[in-house]
Structure 1
């Protein structure tokens, strides 16, 4: 096991349900300094675990473990933190309660403060649903978070994004005839169709037109779709996926008692220096949506990743995109804050 567990105890979720014996899986990189002010929080995205974040961590990079103490908390539902696949009855499988982005960040805040005694965070960074968590950190703890850098992620699930995620959910639920009472009959094999659906959204039209999958070693479109999308999704537990899809579909940094659904107010309340990096060809976390959000954040710059890798411009696969993100993080971390 290359990660640690933070026991949350019995937690009451935003839904009002109490999840007994909840826990966060997390991994740290680097050393916390004496002043406890070299902290970077880097939450995971939908379907990812901490290992998938490691491409952005390394000596000489912006997220340098020789300089920073980097905490990667795993999203609830991802199979390592409390999830349908590792929770005992009565909350196992399809009975797992609904968990929000706000819940996740609240628990991460407990980890940071209770476990490590940290009061200031230099940066919260994240891709996709990790990006939503970065926005949520900025809105929930404006005086604590000095910088945020969401990439290929939005501050709420806009209607089109909701529909895309609903398509993934429908592809899975079709396996049990859309009968929610039969959810516990779902198996990982039923995830094959979900991978096929996501293949059309994760990458751009230009990526496919230019056959960039050949650069990854796949000689045909069919081999690429089966070898990447089907295989990666069929490794996932279907109930974990449904739990994370619910979290994603209902994500909104203002859906909490502090902002009572006032999305614009939540954005305006973020005090952190913000570098918002949408993928220029992202089909469902769009640059347009990020542009709306960045205009309302007082100290934000919008810096699109000019790439035909779509949503996956932020996935750590394409060298040019990786360098662009790393360079922007270096610039952001070099900026002095007045707090």
Structure 2
């Protein structure tokens, strides 16, 4: 049985101009919505993740406390649960896959909150990686509806170097035997395994591997870590969905809309929410330097780097108590202890 709810979006006009005759958003909630609807935290999903992959940090002693807050995790478009290439009805799918943007995600999420729960203002948007991109989009697109933002290991606009990484892992999948005319005619097992191994080299830092931290989290060897921790992670997903989310990530830009017309400084300056921006000091594609440039242009934001050797995964630290403490402290600072 599914452990999530589904919100019917009906016909959905996408930012890039196509219309889906029928679309839906899969979501899960945690905690209880209070009477004045002032205790809502939105927690969007990251790359390749379903809500069940990221809800480990929700708990009484966790980073997000459901005893006090009503937490909504919307699965992003393209992730396999919400409308995605793997579940699109014809004429889409079968190589004719529309591009989903974070603008599309945020507009769908705004409708979910307003139409299902009657929520028009968020106490916090919390997000890691692609979830953090969505959080910053919320701050720019709906500044009057967001009180606070915690954006972890992410960016307001995908950087050129980050795009190089993304184009590389995209090429791993699209060069697979059986990929033609925008679709896979057979499951690309070898490409998915290679995809996981390439991703492992980017997601974790050099120091993580030098110090053999994989040995302390249940893996018997580096090869065991790569096979179970990375190949296994992406073998769970449909390759068309992985490519769709890469395309969303590549195009992520809070200024790419009619409101800001590609003026990133203007879009960053419009984010009035109290914000803590948290890059990892060893993240190889969302760097502290890039976050510093963006945070300086936000009027109510603090740059708070995570001093960690867990690389990009410092922002999703299920196995690092120290990094969890950093995130928990930031959320408490934003929401009040």
The TM-score bracket by the shorter chain reads over 0.9
Name 2:75's counterpart in structure 1.
74
Classify 1:161/1:37 alpha carbon distance in 2 versus 1 (closer, same or farther; 3 Å): same
Name 2:185's counterpart in structure 1.
185
Q: Which runs of 5 or more structure 1 residues have no equivalent in the other structure?
A: none
**Cα drift, residue 62 of structure 1:** 4.5
The answer (yes or no) to whether the contact 1:176–1:183 under 8 Å persists in 2 is no
Give 2:333's match in structure 1, choosing from 298, 306, 331: 331
Correspondence 1:1-339 to 2 at 5 A: 1-176=2-177, 180-181=180-181, 183-189=183-189, 190-317=191-318, 318-334=320-336
Work out the CA distance in 2 between the residues paired with 1:133 and 1:114. Answer: 19
The answer (yes or no) to whether the contact 2:177–2:188 under 8 Å persists in 1 is no
**Over aligned residues, Cα RMSD in angstroms?**
1.4
Deviations 1:258-297, CA, capped at 9 Å, x for gaps: 1111111100000100011111100001111111111011
Classify 1:16/1:39 alpha carbon distance in 2 versus 1 (closer, same or farther; 3 Å): same
The answer (yes or no) to whether the contact 2:27–2:51 under 8 Å persists in 1 is yes
Q: What is the SS of the residue equivalent to 1:258?
A: coil
Work out the CA distance in 2 between the residues paired with 1:41 and 1:260. Answer: 26
The answer (yes or no) to whether the contact 2:43–2:73 under 8 Å persists in 1 is yes
Question: What is the TM-score of this pair, normalised by structure 2?
Answer: 0.96
**Cα drift, residue 149 of structure 1:** 0.5
The answer (yes or no) to whether the contact 1:93–1:239 under 8 Å persists in 2 is no
The answer (yes or no) to whether the contact 2:94–2:182 under 8 Å persists in 1 is no
Q: Which runs of 5 or more structure 2 residues have no equivalent in the other structure?
A: none
Work out the CA distance in 2 between the residues paired with 1:62 and 1:226. Answer: 29
Work out the CA distance in 2 between the residues paired with 1:273 and 1:55. Answer: 25
The answer (yes or no) to whether the contact 1:85–1:93 under 8 Å persists in 2 is no
**Cα drift, residue 96 of structure 1:** 2.1
Deviations 1:70-103, CA, capped at 9 Å, x for gaps: 1100011111000111122221243221000111
Work out the CA distance in 1 between the residues paired with 2:114 and 2:302. Answer: 29
Question: What is the TM-score of this pair, normalised by structure 1?
Answer: 0.95
Work out the CA distance in 1 between the residues paired with 2:171 and 2:305. Answer: 31
The answer (yes or no) to whether the contact 2:176–2:188 under 8 Å persists in 1 is no
Work out the CA distance in 1 between the residues paired with 2:220 and 2:30. Answer: 37
The answer (yes or no) to whether the contact 1:176–1:182 under 8 Å persists in 2 is no
